Structure formats: structure tokens, C-alpha cells
A = this chain, B = another copy of it.
Amino acid sequence: MVIQLDKNITSDQHLALSNTLKSYGFSSTYVNTQFGKYLVSIGKKALDLRKIGNEPGVKDIFKVDDPYKLVSSQWKIGKTCIDLGDGVKIGNGHFQTMVGPCSIEGEQNIIDTIEHMKSIGAKIMRGGVFKPRSSPYSFRGHGIETLKLWHEIASAHGIKIITEVMQVSQIEDMLPYVDILQVGARNSQNFNLLDELGKIDKPVMLKRAISGTIEELLQSAEYIFANGNEKILLCERGIRSYEQAYRNTMDINAIAILKDKSHLPVIADPSHGIGVRKYVESIAYASVAAGADAVIVEVHQCPEKALSDGQQTLDYQQSKTMHDKIHQIRNVLNN
């Protein structure tokens, strides 16, 4: 059960409500976000909603059977829109392409990418400065100084930044320089990291775990929301299956289901999904056709020379073609 509370609810009223619910066998979690105040209340028995509907401080009450509550579409009328400022919005009808290199390589790479972005009208730049790597002996990204440089250049051009945060101790340092903090697949159930990301007021893009279920992704998003941050984007990036003909099984089905089950925007990552350059465009089209609110795609001036493995990276010409066709497909869906 999700109870929307009055913004002006007093702590006495909120405690009284919790106690009333407790008397009916319900445990309650008080949630205070940028946008609202809520009580998430969980119990085993059915409760006649009229019994609490008139309690002081109660704005609205919704039954939510899903194991996730605040991120569920069962209580929220309408879809969530993430507003990055300067007219850059995602969700609730707003669409974006996020493009850029796998790893941010340096000043020239940033400039080249932004120039390309301006030529196609893309507004959000992706790129890693902290990279999760299976092996301790692999390159782990250029770090915070490169992020600062990137932010300086990007903000001068009105370009927004999305990049991955890997641990709690990085959040504070990174915060002034990013527009969206990305949580990678390997951290999708790093609950302590999610707790902390719930305490900031910046959008978080949460990737599905390597073999995470759709329900687990939504429950991980619930951690962020329940800690106070409603600005969440969900990202499908492929799941692990037996098939070896591609890198991951990009789960287009999940896009359709997430759009239905949650009010949060859904982002598709075909680069890390199928993971093979020549198929990335087709999977981007399929993602949009299934309802994605944004695609995040690796692009590089010369994919073969990209710092990290560029086998899933598009060149600028492919990026432009993709960008154009995606917008046409969206027009078909919106008619």
C-alpha cells in the first residue's frame, strides 16, 4: 500500500498514522523525497481503506500488490519525466539519444563527440571515467580529473553528462560534474550504493543486473526511491543466456514490461546488449519500437581505435542514420 501524505503533515500526524496502521498489522516506512511524502505500508491482511482515508495528513491511498511499491505504476497517475534542465527531458513522451565513447579518452575525444552530437541534435553524452573490469589488471578509466575536464567542455556546449559511479565514496566527488549517475549491471544489487544514491537530488540510471529479473530491477529502484530520490531511470542492457552468437541477449521484452509495470522512464542500451556493431542499429530500432524512452549507444570517431574494446561501437555516420530512423519510428508509434 502506498499512502501519499500531505506536504505539510506534522511528525505527530505521521506517527499517529503509523501507529494506526500498526494496530491493523501493517508495518510502515516513511519516505520523504524531492517531490513528496509517502508511507509505504506492508501487511498480510486486507485493510478497509476507508479506515485510514480520513486520517489527518493522508492525501491518497493506493493498493499496490507488486513487491515494489513506489516505483510501481499502480499508484502514480501518469509517467515520470526526468528533467535535466535546458529543455532536456526523458520520459512521459520525451525521448533522448545518449551517445559517446565507452571510456572518455581525453580532450580531443570529448570535443569530437560533442561536435558530432551537435550535428545530429543529441543532448546527452555518455562515457566512462570509472570502469568496472572483470580483471584487476585491466584499464579502470581515467578518473575524476577527466570527469572535471569533460564537464567543463560539455557544460559550455549545453551537453548533459551521464557516467558510471562504482562506490559510495565516489558520489560526493562526482556529483557537481554529472547530470545522471549510472549504476552498472554488476552493482544493480549493491544495496548500500543504492541507499546512498537515494539521498542525493540527481537522476540515477539503474542498469538491470547481468542475470537480474525485471522484478529485481524494480526492487533495486525502490531502494533509491525509498531513500528519497524519485529521479530514477531504468536501463535494459541485455541478460546472460546460453546463446553465444552475440554478447548478451538484449531483452526487448523487458522494455515493454517495464513501461507497463512502472512509471519510470526506460532506457535501452543496445551497445552492451547485442554487443556487435553491425547489429546495434537494428536493436536500437527494436528498442524504440517496443517503447524505450531513450537509447544509450557507444559512438566513436574511429571505433577500431577506441581506447576500450570498440566492437560494439558505432561510427558517426552509423550514429547519424540511427538517430534519424529512431525519430521516424517514434513518429509512427505516436500517431
Which residues of A approach B to under 8 Å, CB–CB? 27, 29, 40, 42, 67-69, 132-137, 166-169, 186-187, 189-192, 195, 209-216, 219-220, 222-223, 226-227, 239-246, 249-257, 260, 273-274, 278-279, 282-283, 285-291, 325, 328-329, 332-333, 335
B244 and A29 within 8 A (CB): no
In the complex, are the beta carbons of B251 and A249 less than 8 A apart? yes
**Interchain CA distance A223-B189 in the complex, whole Å:** 20
Say which residue of B40, B134, B211, B241 sits within 8 Å of A210 (CB atoms): B211
Whether A289 contacts B285 by the Cβ 8 Å rule is yes
- Please determine whether A279 and B253 come into contact, CB atoms closer than 8 angstroms: yes
User: A213's closest neighbor in chain B, by CB?
Assistant: B243
Known: A40-B137, A286-B287; 18 extra A-B contacts, CB below 8 A, are: A29-B137, A134-B189, A134-B219, A135-B219, A136-B191, A136-B219, A186-B190, A215-B245, A245-B257, A249-B251, A250-B252, A256-B286, A260-B278, A282-B290, A286-B290, A325-B332, A328-B332, A329-B329
Contact across chains for B168 and A169 when beta carbons are under 8 A apart: yes
Which residues of chain B have C-beta atoms less than 8 A from A219's C-beta? Answer: 134-136
Are B250 and A253 closer than 8 Å at their CB atoms? yes
A329 partner residues in chain B, CB cutoff 8 A: 289, 329, 332
Sampled A-B contacts (7; CB under 8 Å):
A136-B226, A168-B169, A211-B211, A239-B241, A246-B253, A252-B283, A329-B332
Chain B residues whose CB sits within 8 angstroms of the CB of A243 once the complex forms = 213-214, 239, 251, 253-254
Would A282 and B274 count as touching, CB distance under 8 A? no
CA distance A9 to B278 in the complex (A): 39
A258 to chain B, nearest CB (A): 9
Tell me the bound Cα distance from A241 to B254 in angstroms: 13
User: Which residues of chain B are within 8 angstroms of A287 by Cβ–Cβ distance?
Assistant: 286
Give the chain B neighbours of A69 by CB distance below 8 A. Answer: 137
CB distance from A331 to the nearest CB of B (A): 8
Cα of A222 to Cα of B133 in the assembled complex, Å: 12
Contact of A256 among B166, B186, B256, B283 (CB under 8 A): B283
Q: Is the CB of A273 within 8 A of B253?
A: yes
Instruction: Report B-chain residues with C-beta under 8 Å of the C-beta of A67.
Output: 134-135
